[in-house]
Amino acid sequence: MISGAKQLFLIPVLLAAAASGALGQSLIESGRKQFEARCGACHGADGGGGELGPSLLERRGRTLSEQTIRDAIRNGIPEAGMPAFHLSAEDEGALVGFVRALTRPAAESEVPGDAAAGDAFFWGQGKCGGCHMIRGRGGITGPDLTSLGQQRTLGQIQQALERPELVRQTGYRQVTVRLADGNTLSGVAKNESAYDLQLQDRAGRLHFLRRSQISRVEHDPKPLMPAFHLGETQKRDLLAFLSRLNGAGPGTSTWSGRALPQKPGEWATYHGDPGGNRYSSLDQITTGNVQSLGARWIFPVAGARRLEVTPLVVDGVMYVTTANQAYALDARNGRAIWHYQRPLTKGLVGDAAGAINRGVAVLGDRLFMVTDNAHLLALDRRNGGLIWDVEMADYHQHYGATSAPLVVRDLVISGTSGGDEGARGFVAAYKASTGERVWRFSTMPKPGEPLASTWVGRAIEHGCGTAWLTGTYDFQNNTLFWPTGNPCPDYNGDERKGDNLYSDSVLALEPETGKLKWYYQFTPHDLHDWDSTETLMVVDAEFQGRQRQLLMQANRNGFFYVLDRTNGKVLLAKPFVKKLTWASGIGPDGRPQVLPGSEPTVAGAKVCPAVEGASNWMSTAYNPSTGLFYVMALEKCNIYTKSSAWWEPGKSFYGGGTRDIPDEPGMKYLRAINIQTGEIVWELPQPGNAQSWGGVLSTAGGLVFYGDDSGAFAAADAKTGNPLWYFHTNQLWKASPMTYLVDGKQYVAVAAGSSIIAFGL
Which residues are part of the catalytic machinery?
529
366: helix, strand or coil: strand
Closest by Cα among 502, 427, 429 to 463: 502
Residue 159 phi, psi dihedral angles, 5° rounding: -60, -45
CB 471 within 8 A of CB 485: no
H helical segments located in 39-134? 40-43, 59-62, 66-75, 89-103, 115-123
CA 169 to chain centre: 25
The DSSP string of 643-700 is: ------TTS---SEEEEPPTT---EEEEEEEETTT--EEEEEEE-S-S-----EEEET
Q: How many Å apart are CA 341 and CA 322, to the nearest integer? A: 10
Say how far apart CA 750 and CA 706 lie, in whole Å.
Answer: 9
**Which run of H or E residues covers position 114?**
none
| Distance separating alpha carbons of residues 652 and 485, to the nearest angstrom | 14
Task: Please give the angle made by the CA atoms of 729, 733 and 738, to the nearest 5 degrees.
Answer: 85
Spatial distance between the Cα atoms of 387 and 404, rounded to a whole number of angstroms: 18
* Phi and psi torsions of 52, nearest 5°: -110, -20
Number of H-type helices and E-type strands within the chain: 10, 45
CB 138 within 8 A of CB 49: no
Q: What are phi and psi of 96, to 5 degrees?
A: -60, -45
- Look at residues 328, 112, 323 and name the one whose alpha carbon lies nearest to residue 236: 112
Q: Which residues of 450-486 are buried (b: 16+ CB within 10 A; e: fewer)?
A: ebbebbeeebbebbbbbbbbbbbbbeeeebbbbbbbb
What Å distances lie between residue 715 and 744, 748, 755, CA to CA?
Answer: 22, 11, 20
Dihedrals phi, psi of 160, to nearest 5 degrees: -65, -35
Nearest to 154 by CA among 114, 119, 110, 118: 110
Contact 627, 674 (CB under 8 A): yes
For residue 316, the tally of other CB atoms under 10 A from its CB is 18
Q: What are phi and psi of 145, to 5 degrees?
A: -110, 10
Distance CA 647, CA 210 (A): 59
Instruction: Answer yes or no: are the C-beta atoms of 390 and 384 closer than 8 Å.
Output: no
The CB density around residue 754, as the number of other CB atoms within 10 Å, is 16
Indicate the burial class of 163 (C-beta count within 10 angstroms; 0-12, 13-18, 19 or more): middle
* Residue pair 346/312 in contact by the 8 Å Cβ criterion: no
End-to-end CA distance of the chain: 58
Residue 426: Cβ within 10 Å count: 21
Give the angle 431-433-438 at the CA atoms, nearest 5°: 15
Residues 6+ away with beta carbon under 8 Å from 127: none
Residue 54: phi and psi, rounded to 5, are -75, 165
Contact in structure between 499 and 522 (CB atoms under 8 Å)? no
